Amino acid sequence: MMHRAGHVALVGRPNVGKSTLLNRLLGQKLAITSHKPQTTRHSILGINTLEGGQIVYIDTPGIHKRGNKAMSRYLNRTATSTLRGVDLVVFVVDAGHWNEEDGLVLQRVKESRLPALLVVNKIDTVKPREKLLPLLAELAERTGIQDVIPVSARTGDNCDVLEQEILQRLPEGENLYPEDQLTDRPERFFAAELIREQITRRYHKELPYAVTVEIEEFQERPHILRIGAVVWVERPNQKAILLGRSGQAMKETATQARRELERFFQKKVFLRLWIKVKRSWSSDQASLVKLGYTE
Name 233's bridge partners.
277
Q: pLDDT digit of tens for each residue in the chain (295 aa)?
A: 789 999 999 999 988 999 999 999 999 998 888 777 767 788 889 999 999 999 999 998 888 876 667 888 888 888 888 888 899 999 999 998 899 999 999 999 999 999 999 999 999 999 998 999 999 999 999 999 999 999 999 999 999 999 999 999 999 999 999 999 999 999 999 999 999 999 988 887 766 678 899 999 999 988 899 999 999 999 999 999 898 888 888 899 999 999 999 999 999 999 999 999 999 888 888 888 888 887 6
Q: Give the strands of the sheet with 268-277, arranged side by side.
A: 212-220, 224-233, 268-277
Fold of domain 187-290: GMP Synthetase; Chain A, domain 3 (3.30.300)
Rounded to two decimals, the pTM is 0.91
Domain 4-168 has CATH 3.90.1570.10: no
**Beta strands 53-59 and 44-50, pairing class:** antiparallel
User: What is the domain partition of the chain in residue ranges?
Assistant: 4-168, 187-290
Task: For residue 39, give the 3-state DSSP assignment.
Answer: coil
CB 227 within 8 A of CB 271: yes
